[in-house]
Amino acid sequence: VSDRELANGRLSIDDAVGLAGGETWGANSKQWCPFGHINHIDGGVGKAFRVYPDSNTAYCFAGCGWFDPTHMVAVAKDMTDRDAALWILEYTGYREPTVESRWEAATAVHTVVDTAALAEALKVFCTRLDPMWDVHRFDEPFASTFRKCLALLDRVTTEDEAAKWLAVTKDGMRSLLSR
């Protein structure tokens, strides 16, 4: 990854325009170019500037051309693009990854499953079956069964297991609550 790509990943085009003294109004309107008063023939009166948040870029139709956050900062601060990229990295507190942090990232267990959301889904399910669930959940046998369901979440690490967990626990709570 180049410094420029890193820098562009750490600064939004909106923030870059802000750093250039301009303002952005979203993707759907033409607006003033932050450099219009200096660079445009009309002195910047015309709204000749558009931002494209999806690609994190902007374009000035009055001659400034295309910007990514790096080039925006470069023009604003009268720097080369390369220096602007480095400026952005420093401005955003970028630290080059160390061997240790790379290793940690490479070996970290990435939990793709939102277990809190699963627990919430089961709670919602129980509430739907039993409008008094908020009270009953403290009574036996509901309380201990529900607790066991939540304890099983510790073993859920994949989407597939999440789906199975939800199916099994819903089934269990349903048969208990419909008694």
Does position 118 interact with Zn ion (CB under 5 A)? The reply is no
In the list 60, 84, 88, 162, the residue contacting Zn ion (rule: CB under 5 A) is 60
Distance CA 66, CA 72 (A): 9
Rounded least distance, CB 126 to Zn ion, Å: 59
Proportion of the chain in helix, strand, coil states, percent, rounded to 5: 55, 5, 35
Does position 33 interact with Zn ion (CB under 5 A)? The reply is yes
Rounded least distance, CB 26 to Zn ion, Å: 18
Residue of 39, 105, 43, 101 whose CA lies nearest to 67: 39
What b-and-e string marks burial along 135-170, b requiring 16 or more CB atoms within 10 Å of the CB? ebbeeeebeebbeebeebbeebeeeeebeebbeebb
Does position 88 interact with Zn ion (CB under 5 A)? The reply is no
Piece in contact with Zn ion (CB under 5 A), picked from 19-27, 30-38, 134-142, 144-152:
30-38
Does position 64 interact with Zn ion (CB under 5 A)? The reply is yes
Q: What is the 3-state secondary structure (H, E, C) of 16-42?
A: HHHHCCCCCCCCCCCECCCCHHHHCCC
Piece in contact with Zn ion (CB under 5 A), picked from 13-21, 32-40, 137-145, 154-162:
32-40
Piece in contact with Zn ion (CB under 5 A), picked from 52-60, 108-116, 120-128, 155-163:
52-60
Rounded least distance, CB 54 to Zn ion, Å: 21
Binding site for Zn ion (CB under 5 A): 33, 35, 60, 62, 64
